[in-house]
Amino acid sequence: MVSASHSGLDLITGLIMDNKPLPIYGNGKNIRDWLYVEDNCKAIDYVLHAGKYGEIYNISAKNEKPNLQVVNEILKKLDKNKNLIRFVKDRPGHDFRYSINCQKIKRLGWKPKYTFNEALEKIIEWYLNNETWWRREIKKAETRKFQQKVIHDF
C-alpha cells in the first residue's frame, strides 16, 4: 500500500504478529487510499517515460478504506483476535480522509497491477517470510531512539 513506513502497516503487522495492542486513532474511520508500494514505483516509472515534462501526476489505486477496516482484514488473515485493537485519542487536526484526483495518470494509461486484497496478501506474506530481517530493523531503530534520548537527557 503506500510505503509501509508511511501507512503504519509495518508497525501494525509487527504488533499483530506479537499479539500486542494495536493503537488506532479516534474511532478508526479515518479513510486512506491504499496503494501497494510496487504499484507506486511502477507508476513513477510510467510517468517518467510516458508523462509530459513539467506536469504533475497524482498516483492512486482508488482503494479508499477506513483504517479500522484494513486492521480488521490483517487480523483476519493472520487469524488474530479483534481484542488487540485499542482506540487512542486522535491527533489534533488529523485529516479524516486522504483522497486525490488521479485522472491525469489514468489518461496516460497507467493502472495498478494489484487489487487491495492481492497487495495485502503480498505484504503479509513478506512479513511472515522476512521476520528475522524486520525484527532486527525494529531493534536497531529502538536502539537509535534510546541513544538519542540518552544524549538529549545528558
Q: Which of these, 48, 45, 44, lies nearest to 58 by C-alpha position?
A: 44
Range 125-137 average pLDDT: 87
Fold of 4-129: Rossmann fold (3.40.50)
pLDDT of residue 28: 92
According to the model, what pLDDT value does residue 149 have? Answer: 67
pTM of the model: 0.78
Query: Is the CB of residue 35 less than 8 Å from the CB of residue 60?
Result: yes
Given a cut of 70, whether residue 97 has pLDDT beyond it is yes
**Domain boundaries, given as residue ranges, for the chain:** 4-129
Average pLDDT over residues 59-72: 93
**Using 50, 70 and 90 to split pLDDT, how confident is the model at 10?**
low
Mean pLDDT, residues 70-97 taken together: 89
Helices (H) and strands (E) in the chain — how many of each?
7, 4
pLDDT over 50 (residue 4): no
Which pLDDT score is estimated for 90? 84
Q: Which residue has the higher pLDDT, 67 or 5?
A: 67
Q: What is the 3-state secondary structure (H, E, C) of 2-63?
A: CCHHHHCHHHHHHHHHCCCCEEEECCCCCEEECCCHHHHHHHHHHHHHHCCCCCCCCCCCCC
pLDDT of amino acid 150: 67
Taking each helix axis from N to C end, the angle separating 9-17 and 116-129, rounded to the nearest 10 degrees, works out to: 60
